[in-house]
Amino acid sequence: MSELRQRIKTTIESEPVVAFVKGTHQQAYCGNSQRAMHALRSVGASFTAVDVLPDPAIRLELSALTSWPTIPQVFVGGELIGGADIVQEMAASGELEAKLDEKLGDRWRSPGAEKTVSVVAVV
């Protein structure tokens, strides 16, 4: 496994809620990334964003890991729960909160606690 893929995997496994997006939690550069983050916010979930734009390899390695070809990708407790469409559907139906509760207990309820982390090695 490449170093980059390992860092992606570690991020997915260690962050309670992580969204791989085009942009950051403050500024999305794609409507779908914006929709996914909006859905997480709408249920009051804190999340960690990872920007895939700095290096095309991030997206390639992520997709190889998940068998999911598009961005965004949202993970809860290490599990891929979907892209923008699924996360939006789940937020609207109440399934998203149920999934967060099931996977994380109370750990996800800190509205506004958002950050963006990098998976690209610091050189």
Task: Kindly list the residues in this chain that would bind another protein in the complex (CB under 8 A).
Answer: 30-32, 67-70, 80-86, 89-90
Peptide bond into 72 cis (omega under 30): yes
Shortest gap between Cβ of 111 and another protein (angstroms)?
25
By beta-carbon proximity to another protein, the closer residue of 60 and 120 is 60
Rounded to a whole number of angstroms, the CA Rg of the chain reads: 13
Q: For residues 78 and 84, is the Cβ–Cβ distance under 8 A?
A: no
| C-alpha triplet 96, 101, 107: angle, nearest 5° | 115
Shortest gap between Cβ of 29 and another protein (angstroms)?
12
What does each C-alpha distance from 59 to 30, 33, 50, 70, 103 come to in angstroms? 14, 13, 11, 8, 25
| C-alpha triplet 96, 55, 5: angle, nearest 5° | 65
By beta-carbon proximity to another protein, the closer residue of 64 and 86 is 86
Shortest gap between Cβ of 101 and another protein (angstroms)?
18
By beta-carbon proximity to another protein, the closer residue of 9 and 68 is 68
Shortest gap between Cβ of 38 and another protein (angstroms)?
15
